[in-house]
Amino acid sequence: MPGFMTARWPPDYPVPQPPTVWPEENVALLERYLVWLYANNAGHTSIHDYYLPTAGHVLGYHLEHHKTLDLQTSFERVMAYFKAKQICERWQIMGRHALARFRRFMQEERGYARLPQTMRENRLEKYQEGLPDWLVVQLSQHQQIRQQNWRRSRLQDAIVNFWSSHSRLWRWLFAEYDIQEIGDIKRSYIHSYIDHRLALKMSVGSVNLELRAFQGTLRFLQERDFEVPQSLLRLPGLRAADELQRYLTDEQVRRLQAEFERCVQVEDTPARRRNALLNRAVFYLLWQAGLRTSEIEDLLLLELDLPHKQLTIREGKGKKDRTVYLTARTCVVIQEYLEVRGSSHTDHIFLYRHEPLGKDLVRNRIKAAGRRAGVKVTPHQLRHTFATQLVNTGCRITTIQALMGHKRLSTTLVYAEVHNHTVAEDYYTAMAKVEQSLEGYLRKPQAEKPAENGHDSGANGNAAHLLSLVTALQVELLPESQQVLVMELKRGLKAMAKPPDKAPRRQVVNEQKSYPQEIGYPP
């Protein structure tokens, strides 16, 4: 670099060695790096003034095979070399950017997922600005582990989202406080950050998401022998208010369905009719199959089995495969779309202008149809509606979990919202069965066998038997209302099973009976 060549450094300071003493593998690596830079549209001046010299410094300090190169310690050594040369701050910033570029090249060399070339370099650099090199390296490794479960079609957006959420709190901390190591971070700093975000009118959910990402990074660092204060890991999130309804009512679904059907009937040109059939098929897969938007975009023809009314989702969220079943109506609308799908170089089921669907097309078209139908809707709301309608028609929650592709049952419970009328129906149905079973015991015929003291021992024995059954119930597992019913049954059965203290008084014929005045019976 021109700025580096004119700078001075202390006497006897260790300097990088020239390529003549490097291993041959490292010389070949630098040549591949030059090709990679040009392939990624780096400028000629930047390549020869910044990127190549900086990579040469890294390799010049490491005279062993590049596979043993530590991306953290080696890069820190080069930054220390820059500072020792007393170069200006601007050149140090350029050197840091050059190291970041060489780090990405090395990650690809070692088999990590390659970012699409359409991604602009500064999309990640702006999230790394202000962070120490050691943290950038650790976050990069954290990302590389996490991205093993990300869909390839969404890899570019997923990487950017990762850095956006996982670096925001860190960047604020290093900008506001003098932090040299993780132990310097105090709980009060995090509280100040939360106040700062809330003052910017950020939602509670967004703040909690950033806090969870920060704590996730702390746990990752802890696993790599960094000393992490436990007080930071125990920080609770903010209490969020009850969310608004996330599913559509039956009336809203009917209006939305009618709108998609109407568009198919009224469109008169081939292109518009093809789009209408595409929109309707996507709507049915979202509503009646519960697919995610990204899963619809990635569907291939070989994954569709219309004769058996099923669809195979390959590498869904978390890289999980699952089978989705289709209704007869869904099969019909998909078949009608396939008849006008057209040709393409790809086997994706859904095409727009002979290319796979873009990430915003489905969302925009669902929302546009909702506006025409007077229904505020998103594709993910249709997925919520799918789960909610199933659970309220009696489908087992574990079946819904499998259909939705959820790893945890608790996640399915967030989607499947039980209506109040469903709770009431389930309660009355269950209690009717309880009462019917107990009524069967009470009405069981008993042989008449008078006791010596005039008490019916058969009824006494029957009541004692029922009492033992009721007592054996695990009352604590029942709802509160059913617990009350069981306690009432126990009291009544105890009274029936208890023998009288004395023989009953002989009834006198035509004896005048007395009734309590306070309950309104006639005297």
The 3-class secondary structure across 456-518, one letter per residue, is: EHHHHHHHHHHHHHHHCCCHHHCCHHHHHHHHHHHHHHHHHHCCCCCCCCCCCCCCCCCCCHH
Stated as kind and residue range, the H or E segment containing 335 is helix 328-338
3-class secondary structure, 295: helix
- Catalytic pick from 62, 151, 274, 383? 383
Exposure class string for 157-177: b at 16+ Cβ within 10 A, else e: ebbeebbebbbbbbbbbeeee
CB 296 within 8 A of CB 362: yes
| Residue 380 a catalytic site member | yes
- Catalytic pick from 146, 154, 367, 380? 380
| Residue 383 a catalytic site member | yes
Residue 518 to residue 43: CA distance in whole angstroms: 100
Burial class (CB in 10 A: 0-12, 13-18, 19+), 405: buried
Residue 167 to residue 65: CA distance in whole angstroms: 32
- Catalytic pick from 57, 103, 280, 406? 406
- Catalytic pick from 317, 348, 365, 384? 317
| Residue 284 a catalytic site member | no
CA 475, 476, 477: angle at the middle one, nearest 5? 90
- Catalytic pick from 142, 292, 341, 384? 292
- Catalytic pick from 33, 51, 61, 415? 415
| Residue 505 a catalytic site member | no
Cross-strand partners of 324: 311
Among residues 284, 295, 294, the alpha carbon closest in space to that of 322 is found at: 295
| Residue 292 a catalytic site member | yes
CB 183 within 8 A of CB 222: no
Residues annotated catalytic, as ranges: 292, 317, 380, 383, 406, 415
